[in-house]
Structure 1
C-alpha cells in the first residue's frame, strides 16, 4: 500500500494497524517512494541476506567529518582560485 505523507499523518493509527496485520506501507512524497513501514516480525531483505551469509555488515563506522579549515573569502572565490 502506498500513502502520501499527509495521508499517513492524518490516518497514522489506521496505517499502523495495517502494518500490525502484516502489510507493508510505502510512504511517498509527491508520488516518489521515500520510506517503508514493515511489520517488525518480518526481516528486511538486508537482514535476510546477512542471515544467509551473503553480505556482511561494514566492519567500522565511517569516521566523522574533519573540522572545517579556516579560509578567507567565499566558496565561489575559493573555487575560482582553484580553477586557475
Structure 2
C-alpha cells in the first residue's frame, strides 16, 4: 500500500497547519520543503516507518553490536606526510 504524500513549503505549513495535520490524521503524509528541498516528513503515528516495514519483512536486521566509541586522537608533531614516511621506514 503506497501512502499519498503532498509537498509543502514552510510558510504554507505554518499558515495552514491545522489543515495539513488533518490530512496526516486521515492517513496522508506531508513532506516539508525549504526552497524546494525536502527537510522533514510528517507521517501518521500509527503507521510503521519504512525501516520498521523492512525489519518486519526480514529484509534488514538491527546491528548485532553497539557502535563502539572512536579511539582518542593521537597527537604528533610534524606534517602527516612526514609521519607516514617515518612509519614506512
TM bracket, shorter-chain basis: 0.5 to 0.7
Structure 2 portions without partners, runs of 5+: 1-5, 83-89
Structure 1: gaps (5+ residues):
71-77
Q: Deviations over 1:5-32 (max 9, x none)?
A: 1211222221111100111101111101
CA distance in 2, matches of 1:31, 1:2: 9
- Partner of residue 17, structure 2: 12
TM-score (norm: length of structure 1): 0.67
TM-score by length of 2: 0.64
Which residue matches 1:38?
43
In structure 2, the CA distance between the partners of 1:47 and 1:8, relative to structure 1 (3 Å rule), is same
Look up the match of 2:85: none
Q: Residues 55-77 of structure 1: CA distance to partner in whole angstroms, max 9, x if unpaired?
A: 0123455455677889xxxxxxx
C-alpha RMSD over aligned residues: 2.6
Aligned residues: 77
Give the direction of change, closer, same or farther, for the CA distance of 1:21–1:62 in structure 2 (3 Å limit): same
* 1:1-80 to 2 correspondences below 5 Å: 1-63=6-68
